[in-house]
Amino acid sequence: MVYGLGELRKKPVINVRDGCHLGVVSDLEFDTDTAHVTCLLVRGKLRLWGILGRQEDLEIPWEQIEVLGEDAVLVNFESGEPETKRKGRFSWFLSEE
């Protein structure tokens, strides 16, 4: 199957390691010497509806792309820092310490 950048853009990117939605494809990066795609660029997620800007963009190396599907792009991506669940507002009240 042959994809153009216009068809690939805006496809959701899903990490197969944890099922996390990483964002959508925003661009491709390629090496001009070899004419090979080197990585897939995923735009950072908005923080507080964009008021606080965006998270950093993700560069997913081409070797970590598992499937370029019709509906989504599946990647095997090791993120830099593990996401931790945020404690609720009243977690200090409910803790048993």
What's the chain's average pLDDT? Answer: 80
> Which of 60, 19, 24, 55 has its CA nearest to residue 39?
60
pLDDT at residue 34 tops 60: yes
- Side-chain-side CA neighbours of residue 87 (13 Å): 7
Higher per-residue pLDDT: 6 or 61? 61
**pTM: predicted TM-score of the whole model, two decimal places:** 0.71
